[in-house]
């Protein structure tokens, strides 16, 4: 018996396939390594075409790369807690949210060695087409910009006071 898919199901399957191909391209990218910005590119992708909320952070850290899951560090725990305070269920961040970032590879430690290095404008520019492709494909209803760098990438320089509010 032939299963007749509804329009929504077909669109969903097409979306997942398009996203799978996009993820393949991201995972194969080595631009920042080839241009000497990072020693080794290990891009990270997380999310489904059906996700309606997208989180855009700065870049994955070493914990996320090691676990193969974005926002695996303390920032992810805080974000999940905020979502729960806003009424979303436990696990929502990793199970129902598309997790993206300005760059997809761990930029490594900052020169002082006391935190993550901010990706350079050149690295952000190299990775930006992937982010724009995800936004165009998912057309999320809600986009959460996490951290000063992600906010500034879309709204320009914002004062620390405004960011803290």
Write out the residues near ligand SF4 by the rule CB under 6 A.
26, 29-33, 41, 43, 103-105, 123, 126-127
- Which residue, 90 or 109, has its beta carbon nearer to ligand SF4? 109
Question: Which residues on adjacent β-strands are paired with residue 142?
Answer: 53
- Which residue, 22 or 41, has its beta carbon nearer to ligand SF4? 41
Residue 72 near residue 64, CB atoms below 8 Å: yes
Q: To the nearest whole angstrom, how small is the minimum distance from the Cβ of residue 115 to ligand SF4?
A: 18
- Virtual CA dihedral for 135, 140, 145, 149, nearest 10 degrees? 0
Q: To the nearest whole angstrom, how small is the minimum distance from the Cβ of residue 85 to ligand SF4?
A: 32
Q: To the nearest whole angstrom, how small is the minimum distance from the Cβ of residue 116 to ligand SF4?
A: 13
Q: To the nearest whole angstrom, how small is the minimum distance from the Cβ of residue 70 to ligand SF4?
A: 13
Q: Give helix 121-138 / helix 7-28 axis angle, nearest 10°.
A: 170
- Taking alpha carbons only, the member of 151, 143, 147, 138 closest to residue 53 is 143
Encoded tokens for 132: 């724009």
Q: Compute φ and ψ for 99, nearest 5 degrees.
A: -105, 115
- Which residue, 33 or 84, has its beta carbon nearer to ligand SF4? 33
- Which residue, 37 or 80, has its beta carbon nearer to ligand SF4? 37
């Amino acid at each position: 018996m032939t299963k007749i898919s509804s329009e929504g199901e077909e669109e969903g399957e097409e979306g997942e396939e398009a996203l799978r191909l996009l993820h393949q391209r991201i995972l194969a990218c080595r631009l920042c390594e080839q241009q000497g910005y990072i020693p080794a590119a290990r891009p990270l992708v997380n999310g489904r075409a059906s996700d309606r909320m997208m989180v855009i952070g700065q870049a994955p850290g070493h914990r996320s790369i090691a676990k193969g899951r974005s926002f695996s560090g303390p920032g992810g725990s805080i974000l999940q807690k905020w979502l729960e305070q806003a009424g979303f269920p436990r696990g929502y961040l990793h199970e129902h949210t598309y997790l993206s970032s300005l760059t997809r590879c761990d930029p490594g430690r900052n020169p002082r060695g006391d935190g993550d290095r901010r990706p350079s404008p050149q690295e952000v520019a190299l990775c930006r087409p992937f982010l724009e492709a995800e936004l165009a494909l998912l057309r999320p209803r809600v986009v959460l910009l996490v951290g000063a760098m992600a906010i500034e990438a879309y709204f320009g320089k914002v004062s620390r006071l405004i960011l803290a509010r």
